[in-house]
Amino acid sequence: MKCMFCKGIMEETTTIHAVEVDGRIIIIKNVPCKKCTLCGEIVYSGVTLKKLEQLINAVKNALTEVAIVNYTDKVA
């Protein structure tokens, strides 16, 4: 797979995905992704996006301002 921006090589790696939902910050660690070795662009697969959505839905009702979850712990 090549980067759609710069045609660089996309490498399998993991990243930290952070989103803001209703004023809360949700940080998900160890998210599998492909990352461009040239420009650093990150692409998630459709399956990963779905799991991220599920994780965010599961965590967003927590009463903490900042939630940190581990992708690999929650998605077995």
The residues binding Zn ion (CB under 5 A) are 3, 5-6, 8, 36, 38-39, 41
Please, which residue, 3 or 31, has the CB nearer to Zn ion? 3
Cβ–Cβ < 8 Å for 22, 62: no
CA angle 13, 14, 15 (to 5 degrees): 130
Task: Give whichever of 41 and 74 is closer to Zn ion, judged by the CB atom.
Answer: 41
Shortest Å, Cβ 34 to Zn ion: 10
CB nearer Zn ion, residue 43 or residue 56: 43
CA distance 13 to 60: 26
Residue 10 beta carbon to Zn ion: minimum distance, rounded to whole angstroms: 8
Residue 69 tokens read as 């979850």
* Residue 49 token pair: 């996006």
Q: How far is the CB of 43 from Zn ion (least distance, A)?
A: 10
